[in-house]
Amino acid sequence: MDPALKLSELLAYAENESRRWQKWFQENPAALDVKLDIAQAKDVRNLVLHIVAVDTRYAERLLGEDVTPYETFPSDIAVLFETGERAFRKLRGFLDSATEEEWKKVIEFPSRSMGTLTSSKRKIFVHTLLHSTRHWAQLATTLRSAGYKQDWQHDFLFSEAIQ
């Protein structure tokens, strides 16, 4: 058995966590209006938008597609999560088809807050998954502090990504 964490396992964790949040927000829509100050977002809805936008835009970059302008992402939560599902399909598609050379390829791209960045596609892929995990954790803490407790454990240990 290879003890190394596979990117497919980390992707499965990120997908599962997003789906749990989608279901939770369907049951707790008032939580979307909770105020916060994370990643230039002023409320929960806009932090979810940020998470989905980053997943989508990096998936598009990895595949060499046109990058969706940030300001065109919808604020409707159901549409946002549908967009997030498409981003995960793109990430999985890249993961399943990328060659060793593709993973090593370095690309240059503009960011919203840090200017122009240069990175390998491997690093971008990993960043995308860690980015969403970090923000979902911030969101979980913020919402619990505001009285909105989630009904599942967020830690990787409790995920279905690895048995």
Splitting the chain (163 residues) into consecutive groups of 10 residues, what average pLDDT does each group show?
80 94 97 96 97 98 96 95 98 96 95 89 96 96 96 74 66
CB-based burial of residue 151 (10 Å sphere; 0-12 exposed, 13-18 middle, 19+ buried)? exposed
> pTM for the whole thing?
0.93
CATH number at residue 38: 1.20.120.450
133-162 residue pLDDT tens: 999 999 999 999 999 999 877 776 777 766
Residue 60 lies in a domain: yes
Residue 151 lies in a domain: yes
Number of structural domains found in the chain = 1
Residue 163 lies in a domain: no
Instruction: Tell me which residue range forms the domain holding 18.
Output: 7-158
Separation CA 71–CA 50 (nearest Å): 10
Separation CA 66–CA 23 (nearest Å): 30
CB-based burial of residue 75 (10 Å sphere; 0-12 exposed, 13-18 middle, 19+ buried)? exposed
Residue 2 lies in a domain: no
Kindly state the percentage of the chain with pLDDT values over 70: 94
Residue 1 lies in a domain: no
